[in-house]
Structure 1
């Protein structure tokens, strides 16, 4: 067993250090692990079969559709309408533009399901406005980077769809509902920190919006927000599945952007489709290779071994959850969210089952921990996108982002150790 763990994770770490793309590193390390038990032909065959069979899932069709819907919304003027609504909601709070950034990320991230898309769309609009109003660009970038992952918790979320697939069918409706309160609490907590810092630094407060401006902002945002009602309401009520909801999201966003707002034209669609296909190909190939790695781990009894090891450390669920939280936070700093979810969910799930953690709660624990990782160097995708949008270096943003990191870690611990935050809505609405 020791040699199995060494070959799987040792080869994976070596390939990552050598700069091999993560999907190929995962596939090669899985193949090398199978070579310990079977011939070259058999190893290559089983890896190919696992990649193909792993992607043969109706649920996975939701991922390309949600990616396409996010790209359409990103270019269709929907972000601007949500920012207008956020300006009304922020009112006269200290550092109102920072609050506008956070609320906009919560709204747009929930619609697009992508932290990176949210950081780019909202940050691209807010960064020049905040700079013009006298905000420190590094502070504005820190706010944008740490608030964009809220959309990975507030549904619809492709991350939670992937988790459902990995765990063998954990209710997507329950996972979606479970993400609402943690996502909202995360956003509100970041607003509190942004308000404290803004008041101390004397950042300007926006003028009180007129009644006409409030009505206009709400009216402009009603249709985009209607997507959440249609998609989530349809899934929870059982009218359609998450996969069918993703197709409806594409049709809805296409209608708004192309026909209603006319922010994009027919000539823009090929570029949007191609970008979506490229992103989808990367994500699905990564999922396929990760499923092959999961099979290799199961073949070598690695999850059971790790589970036994962690239970052997302590039988106290609090200690085990603390250990897993630290592990996930560290993993998130070196690995992007999707591969981390695909690789470590099968490893940690037996541990969670042994200590009685609900699968829906564990899905939120995994997601919120890895959300912190995409905001941190060296691999944080949201951090790199946010900095590139604002033109601020990572070194410049590290000091102002530290208080927001503390907030995120506090929320991680709160959600981890208070399961009702995640389970309240699924129990209330679905009787979960």
Structure 2
């Protein structure tokens, strides 16, 4: 009875257009109250328990660090450096879009922050240079999805909280190669479209001195991911403490450059607080919903169903990937991650799939879902910022979506893509 009530209410409220964070809360609360087998006090206990976590403290720190770095004006420095480095190549501004997203990913860890910030700026530059508006928007949306893959990644911090078989540091290491492959795949797709559409690069290649000057200007921003990863790998601080270090570094940088004043700092704190509150609300609601799914043994039932269909490890991984991809089409990324991790993770473990490989498969799946309708939050951000129709964006994103799915297939077929680096640094199970 409880399981039926939970599942039916969840999908019914989702279809009615209720935000997914509230669909989880309503479905969980009503299921517990109607069945009567569990004490309703479990709801506030699980809500608090879901966010009462030391590793989770990294999330507000990384969000605040990202806001501070943007307020310091370092986004513009990254853009100049990327343009000087690759702007002369065929489809140059498209390659700038890819490169700046890869660089910004080491600061923000968020696809939405990238889409609303540097990707939106490059999109306007591309349109002014003669790129078709829908393609400029689609590429900006696709490149923004690199944000949750290259460390530091907010999604990976949340994942590590949901699955105790992996660590934040291990996930950060696991995301480096897939993130680089994602960038290369999107650059290749942009080259193909640029040749087909006749998009060219900047007329004059930047001189060595110009590249050096722009690299030095962007250096403080590019130093942040090195500080974070270097400190974690060197055992100087934990990933959670790394978030605090990143925030302190960004704050000191802003004060030293005199780009932060009282008014800007207030705005940054408000924006970071609102974003953090949204994330923590989703985590709290999803923790109740995910716990109920586990209590009702839905993962075990799903595992038994898959076991009855096949025992081949690779086939199981493809089935899990397909299921996650479908979920990513209809459920927003963060709640989908928290819901699916305790459901699909034990199944992957049962069939001998490496936890880090499964984690990267799931994170990649759900980030791809950020640029696929009907939910596609990154597409909607770009459509709003660029004043574009979602239909046109959805068509233009198809070749870029194919490139990202190719990377997903490589992660599924070649485990070492996501496990070799963590194993080398001693973060693999």
Whether TM-score is above 0.5 comes out as yes
What is the SS of the residue equivalent to 1:430? coil
> For the residues of structure 2 that align with 1:350 and 1:429, how far apart are their CA atoms?
25
Which of 286, 289, 296 lines up with 1:290 in the alignment? 286
- In structure 2, the residue matched to 1:235 is 232
In the TM superposition, what is the alpha-carbon distance from 1:373 to its structure 2 partner? 0.4
- Cα gap change, 1:30/1:431 in structure 2, threshold over 3 Å: closer, same or farther? closer
What is the SS of the residue equivalent to 1:151? coil
- In structure 2, the residue matched to 1:46 is 42
Which of 204, 211, 220 lines up with 2:217 in the alignment? 220
> For the residues of structure 1 that align with 2:118 and 2:337, how far apart are their CA atoms?
26
> For the residues of structure 1 that align with 2:33 and 2:386, how far apart are their CA atoms?
47
In the TM superposition, what is the alpha-carbon distance from 1:37 to its structure 2 partner? 5.1
Which of 260, 285, 292 lines up with 1:264 in the alignment? 260
- 2:143 is aligned with 1:147: yes
- In structure 2, the residue matched to 1:24 is 22
Which of 422, 425, 428 lines up with 1:426 in the alignment? 422
> For the residues of structure 1 that align with 2:427 and 2:98, how far apart are their CA atoms?
32
What is the SS of the residue equivalent to 1:232? helix
Conserved? CA contact 2:119–2:143, under 8 Å: no
> For the residues of structure 1 that align with 2:4 and 2:314, how far apart are their CA atoms?
29
Question: Which is further off, 298-307 or 345-354?
Answer: 298-307
> For the residues of structure 2 that align with 1:211 and 1:162, how far apart are their CA atoms?
42
- In structure 2, the residue matched to 1:363 is 359
> For the residues of structure 1 that align with 2:427 and 2:151, how far apart are their CA atoms?
19
- In structure 2, the residue matched to 1:337 is 333
- In structure 1, the residue matched to 2:89 is 93
> For the residues of structure 2 that align with 1:190 and 1:324, how far apart are their CA atoms?
25
- 2:36 is aligned with 1:13: no
Q: CA RMSD in A?
A: 1.5
1:155-234 → structure 2 map (5 Å cutoff) = 155-168=151-164, 170-206=166-202, 207-234=204-231
TM-score (norm 1): 0.95
- Cα gap change, 1:169/1:318 in structure 2, threshold over 3 Å: closer, same or farther? closer
Deviations 1:87-138 (A, max 9, x none): 1331532100000001101111221111111111113321232122111111
- In structure 2, the residue matched to 1:244 is 241
- In structure 2, the residue matched to 1:280 is 276
Question: Which is further off, 125-134 or 104-113?
Answer: 125-134
1:332-411 → structure 2 map (5 Å cutoff) = 332-411=328-407
Conserved? CA contact 1:77–1:261, under 8 Å: no
Conserved? CA contact 1:31–1:43, under 8 Å: no
Where in structure 2 are there 5+ consecutive unaligned residues? Answer: none
- In structure 2, the residue matched to 1:132 is 128
Question: Which is further off, 245-254 or 28-37?
Answer: 28-37
- In structure 1, the residue matched to 2:78 is 82
Conserved? CA contact 1:33–1:296, under 8 Å: no
Deviations 1:147-186 (A, max 9, x none): 1111111000010011100012512111101000001001
> For the residues of structure 2 that align with 1:430 and 1:81, how far apart are their CA atoms?
35
What is the SS of the residue equivalent to 1:150? coil
Conserved? CA contact 1:27–1:47, under 8 Å: no
What is the SS of the residue equivalent to 2:152? coil
* Residues paired across the two proteins, number: 427
